Amino acid sequence: MSIGCCIISTMKTSEGKITFIDLFAGIGGFHLALHNLGAKCVFAAEWDDKARETYRANFEKVEPSLFLNGSFATDITKVPASSVPSHNILCAGFPCQPFSVAGQKLGFEDTRGTLFFNIAEIIKEKQPDAFFLENVRGLKNHDGGRTFEVIRATLEGLGYSFYCQQVKASDFGLPQHRPRLFMVGFREDYNELFSFPQPVPLDYRMKDVFEANDVNKEIGFTLRVGGRGSKIDDRRNWEFYLVDGELRRITPKEGKRMQGFPDSFALPVSEVQAMKQLGNSVAVPAVQMTAERIIETINLHRRQSVLV
């Protein structure tokens, strides 16, 4: 069984092509989700060479123009915000860094020296309709909660609304807990209210991932980047399962299914690298269902603007 059955159907926008940029892009979970919705990626940035290899292998045929004229950047800190193409949605699964705040003003200037500053600078310069950010759930309490407050205050200070919700992959059709923090906001001229999608029933379980009759867990462990090799009875174990009575280790095939990537998604790297890349990625259906609501809000705003 392919995880493709868990991804919601493609939604084409009737009001024109939605464009997005993909920052800290990894292997392209955001790209896949928004492409499934009919949106076009006009700029991406990822510094890791192996992740860039996987990204290119899967999206160069889909968006060939993205890989021309510097539109697939390596280091976002070296890209002037003014040179980033205009876009409707800024997407970023950004690294979490502590902010050293002199005076604790909790604003745009306080983010200097962090990778989040590059996101804020692009938003300030390009004024996209919306942003969609993803991070670990611990961001809310990171550095005593100050990191999250700087992020929220910065985005609101740039003239955007701010919606935040913790989501789990298992609430969006995937047999993996993977709690993550989603942050969404719209430019201040938007009057439309946004709401995150409601969870959907889980009808795809670990036995479907392994194509087996019986697995010792219905919902799998959250895929991780490190800590491989712990025994199945170790509390740190995240990769071993009892499958039809036999001990089996998650491979990239199962990892793709647990994250919502289709079986056809290419991982032209070693197995160790592939598992690292999947552990660093996003749960595609959770991103896609949220992005669908963002696009609906943008299209509603477009229709309302025409009527005014």
Q: Can 96 be counted among the known catalytic residues?
A: yes
The more confident residue out of 87 and 12 is 87
Q: Nearest to residue 97, comparing CAs of 84, 79, 110?
A: 110
Catalytic residue among 5, 6, 96, 164: 96
Q: Nearest to residue 140, comparing CAs of 169, 171, 165?
A: 165
The rounded distance, in Å, linking the Cα atoms of 265 and 36 is 14
Residue 64 has what pLDDT? 96
Give the residue-averaged pLDDT of 223-252. Answer: 93
Angle in degrees, CA 94, 262, 250, rounded to 5 = 80
Asked if residue 10 has pLDDT above 50, the reply is no
Other C-beta atoms lying within 10 Å of the C-beta of residue 255: 23
The rounded distance, in Å, linking the Cα atoms of 168 and 260 is 13
What domains are there in the chain, each with its CATH number? 15-197+283-307 (3.40.50.150), 206-278 (no CATH)
Angle in degrees, CA 171, 166, 139, rounded to 5 = 140
Residue 13 has what pLDDT? 39
pLDDT single digits (tens) 157-199:
999 999 999 999 999 999 999 999 999 999 999 988 899 999 9
CB distance 249 to 238 below 8 Å: no
Percent of the chain surpassing pLDDT 90:
76
The more confident residue out of 173 and 105 is 173
Strands (E), 96-230: 130-136, 163-168, 179-186
pLDDT single digits (tens) 286-306:
999 999 999 999 999 988 877
Asked if residue 141 has pLDDT above 70, the reply is yes
